[in-house]
Structure 1
Amino acid sequence: MLILSLDHARKLGLVLLVTFSTLTISGIDGAPSQHLAKRGADIAVSTSASASLELPQPGFFADRQPAASFKAVEFDDDDDDQEQQPDDDEFDPEEEEEEEDGPEAGAVVINKAKQPSTPPKSLPSDPYAHYTYEKPYAPAANSLQPGKKARRTMIIGDVHGSLVGLNGFLKQVKFDAKLDEVILAGDLVAKGPQSLEVVDKARQIQARCVRGNHDDKVLRWKGFLDSKKKGIPSDLVENSEHHIIAKKMSKEQYQYLLSCPLILTVPKELSVKKIPIHVVHAGIDPSDNMSKQLPWVLVNVRNILKDGSPSRKKKKGEGWAQLFNDFHSKRVKQGEPDFLLTYGHDAGRSLNVKKWSIGLDTGCVYGRKLSAYVVETGEVYSVNCPDLGLNSDDD
């Protein structure tokens, strides 16, 4: 069941109905490219950015516009507990976890690395990251032919090793493997108890994906382990959860997770608004064009500081999505969005629907919801996830 507080509903300009609510999302695609304060980066990536990634030039700060309406579909199950979503200023388990990566209980820590808060010029483990920047998206065969049964392309928020949450979602929405397609918005692994089983499930249903920050840490560890080199990079934490997952990961699981690009663009032909839909894990730097985003930003950003620097923390600065929407609302004034940006990563802000962007991480691994945006209809599905016993103390 989708839970929205009254304050959140007012921000979205929604009128809530009890039971099934139908809420309609406008699309998105355009990104600024003027620099506010650019940071250099010596990060090698496999670049295949297409013209569709070139977004309109910036102006940045604009008068705020009310969010577009959208359709939300609630799926009832046996657990009807109404859960209060945290306010933006309250504790964010995801952010706290990122503050310092800790080991499993009783594990011996050889190197304990504090993650950078803003984009670093480079990280010691960069040679083992093996990024794919962007991948072409080819729709499934016959998916665009008229007269066919309606298909769904569902962009799903962070699963975080909650296989039971993912399976429950697919069951509730009546997923049809022959017809429907899933895109996972990153962070398939870590936190939950069945990270590699989630990867196997994604492979089984032929889900597409983008790389999340937790996926990135596991991939860096696996790349380092496979290199057989000595001397653990100082930004990798030995005996951490990411290290343990990497050691257990099969070649097939690694290759699948490695295949997840930083950006995936769904073609406009599939969209209900006939606009491209970009999928990233965390977000973007609103001051730059989509095709020029730093990999660190794409998997880590939450806020933009006063000096224009992207930050993975939320205690200072302003949410990147707000600034991003401010810019595009000013750019097109009262016009319809010409693209949509969907992302996960920010469980503390939960379902975050704006005119040009949709945040889909609704804290499934914490026993809240697993949410998805349906490309062909503009609907948002939200399904209850089981309580895995994780809380702020586990981060």
Structure 2
Amino acid sequence: MATYAIGDVQGCFDPLRQLIDLLDFNPASDRLWFVGDLVNRGPQSLEVLRYVKSLGTAAVVTLGNHDLHLVMQAAGYGRANKEDTLDAILAAPDRDELLDWLRAQPLVHVDGPWAMVHAGLLPEWTLSQAKVLSDEVSAALTSPNYRDFLSHMWGSEPAAWRDDLTGWDRLRVVVNAMTRMRYVTLSGAMELRAPGAKAPPEQGPTGCVPWFAARKRASAGYFIVCGHWSALGYFEQPDLLAIDTGCLWGGALTAVRLEDRRVFRLPCPQQVKPSGWD
């Protein structure tokens, strides 16, 4: 049995299938971990959703910001962007089935020595705490009243965690950290909007560090797989793998076999015109 973590797909279905062929993936025994952002910006988001869903228990998915953007658009919340490529999903006859499945995916997945999250974890969160918080968001996303949560999910405040946070503010901080964050300030607050907030570390916001470089990070030492940061590209350290290598922008789609960290990389044709770091 092998476990392959795959970076942000963002609707690039043909490269995904080619990469999986390269892996010699066996759905009866192997597992594919998708770090989130299955959809949007690329040309075949509907095909990606249908395919990953069809894999059943052979696929593990954590939600990314673009996946949540789709869920919000389908419910009539949030702002549509001119770069969105979600219309085929929203018009599909199986749209409700696909969206129900997507909403049921977690923000954090933990399996033995490994964990996966789309963006990152705030410095004070242990892995066990992050899993509990992910479960709180999942409960809100799958409740009969999930639209109430979606109507309050958008926004960048509060920027920092407090144990006494409750209600929508609490859930919003969790969503933002796990699906949007790249940088934190030296005090541990998220920096989501400053100039350079999507840039690579050498061009990042003044007074900030990548979330995984935060001092006294409580999740340090636990092996975390993430994506979301195409400007960072492939990055590894003993307890971290960042694997968004910008397939959408003409970079590559990357998979890593977690058991031995072997990297599989498929060069990708440019799917969209570059418009800055995503």
TM-score by length of 2: 0.71
Task: Give the equivalent residue in structure 1 for 2:90.
Answer: 247
Task: Give the equivalent residue in structure 1 for 2:66.
Answer: 214
The alignment yields a C-alpha RMSD, in angstroms, of: 2.6
Whether contact under 8 Å (1:221, 1:242) holds in the other structure is: no
Larger of the two Rg values belongs to structure: 1
**Pick aligned residue for 1:372 from 230, 255, 262:** 255
Instruction: Encode CA deviations 1:312-363: one digit per residue, 9 max, x unaligned.
Output: 3243111112226x7479x8xxxxx4x2011000000000101211101011
What is the number of residues matched between the two proteins? 220
> Partners of 2:19 and 2:178 in 1: how far apart?
26
> Partners of 1:378 and 1:394 in 2: how far apart?
26
Taking every aligned residue pair, what percent have the same amino acid on both sides? 25
Task: Give the equivalent residue in structure 1 for 2:80.
Answer: 237
Change (3 A) 1:369 1:360: same
Segments of 4+ in structure 1 off by > 6 A? none
Task: Give the equivalent residue in structure 2 for 1:258.
Answer: 103
> Partners of 1:202 and 1:277 in 2: how far apart?
21
**Pick aligned residue for 1:187 from 37, 43, 46:** 37
SS in 2 for 1:182: strand
* CA apart distance, 1:256: 2.2
Write the mapping of 1:39-54 to structure 2, written as runs, cut at 5 A: none
* CA apart distance, 1:390: 3.1
Task: Give the equivalent residue in structure 2 for 1:300.
Answer: 180
Which has the higher relative contact order, 1 or 2, with Cα contacts under 8 A spaced 6 or more apart? 1
> Partners of 2:214 and 2:39 in 1: how far apart?
29
> Partners of 1:384 and 1:256 in 2: how far apart?
30
Write the mapping of 1:375-386 to structure 2, written as runs, cut at 5 A: 375-386=258-269
> Partners of 1:175 and 1:208 in 2: how far apart?
14
> Partners of 2:257 and 2:7 in 1: how far apart?
12
* CA apart distance, 1:389: 4.7
Whether contact under 8 Å (2:230, 2:277) holds in the other structure is: no
* CA apart distance, 1:283: 0.7
Counterpart AA for 1:209 = V
Write the mapping of 1:149-168 to structure 2, written as runs, cut at 5 A: 151-168=1-18
SS in 2 for 1:155: strand
Task: Give the equivalent residue in structure 1 for 2:163.
Answer: none
Task: Give the equivalent residue in structure 2 for 1:50.
Answer: none
* CA apart distance, 1:238: 7.4
Whether contact under 8 Å (2:119, 2:182) holds in the other structure is: yes
* CA apart distance, 1:183: 1.2
SS in 2 for 1:288: coil
Change (3 A) 1:393 1:288: closer
- More helix per residue: 1 or 2? 2
> Partners of 2:18 and 2:47 in 1: how far apart?
14
> Partners of 1:394 and 1:327 in 2: how far apart?
26
Change (3 A) 1:183 1:300: same
Task: Give the equivalent residue in structure 2 for 1:144.
Answer: none
> Partners of 2:89 and 2:231 in 1: how far apart?
27
Whether contact under 8 Å (1:371, 1:381) holds in the other structure is: yes
Write the mapping of 1:1-395 to structure 2, written as runs, cut at 5 A: 151-206=1-56, 207-222=59-74, 224-225=75-76, 233=77, 235-237=78-80, 241=84, 244=87, 247-249=90-92, 250-267=95-112, 276-290=113-127, 291-292=129-130, 294-312=174-192, 313-314=197-198, 315-316=204-205, 317-323=208-214, 327=217, 337=221, 339-392=222-275
> Partners of 1:284 and 1:360 in 2: how far apart?
16
Whether contact under 8 Å (1:237, 1:243) holds in the other structure is: no
Instruction: Encode CA deviations 1:133-172: one digit per residue, 9 max, x unaligned.
Output: xxxxxxxxxxxxxxxxxx2111111001000110110111
Whether contact under 8 Å (1:153, 1:183) holds in the other structure is: yes
Counterpart AA for 2:253 = L
Provide structure 2 residue ranges, at least 5 long, that are not aligned to the other structure: 134-173, 199-203
* CA apart distance, 1:242: 6.5
Instruction: Encode CA deviations 1:183-235: one digit per residue, 9 max, x unaligned.
Output: 1100000010000100111122332200000001111222x24xxxxxxx4x4
Change (3 A) 1:287 1:201: same
Provide structure 1 residue ranges, at least 5 long, that are not aligned to the other structure: 1-150, 226-232, 268-275, 332-336
SS in 1 for 2:231: helix
> Partners of 1:382 and 1:328 in 2: how far apart?
31
* CA apart distance, 1:372: 1.9
